[in-house]
Amino acid sequence: MKMLQTTVMPRVFLMRDKENDISLADPDPRWSVDAVMQFYAHSYPILTTATLSGPEIHNDTLRYRFESTMGTKG
């Protein structure tokens, strides 16, 4: 009988800044996704109004995307 093995997938955070995708490292896997967004908002103020999408599984990682609401109407 085979044993079921579980692994923790690392998280990757993505954001778009001036047409470029930026990959942000996970500062602490114990933090919530909102805490990570607040942490990076000090360096990227656009994240203060961003929304979150994800996670998506991609190459054995959990990808979260911070999406800016700046410049959108409605």
3-state DSSP of 16-37: EECCEEEEECCCCCCCCHHHHH
In angstroms, the Cα distances linking 26 to 11, 60, 72 are 6, 15, 28
pLDDT at 17 over 90: no
Instruction: State the pLDDT confidence band at 31, using cuts at 50, 70 and 90.
Output: very high
The pLDDT score that the predictor gives to residue 69 is 73
Q: Residue 68 CA to chain centroid, in angstroms?
A: 12
- Domain spans in the chain, listed from the N-terminal domain onward: 11-67
Instruction: State the pLDDT confidence band at 70, using cuts at 50, 70 and 90.
Output: low
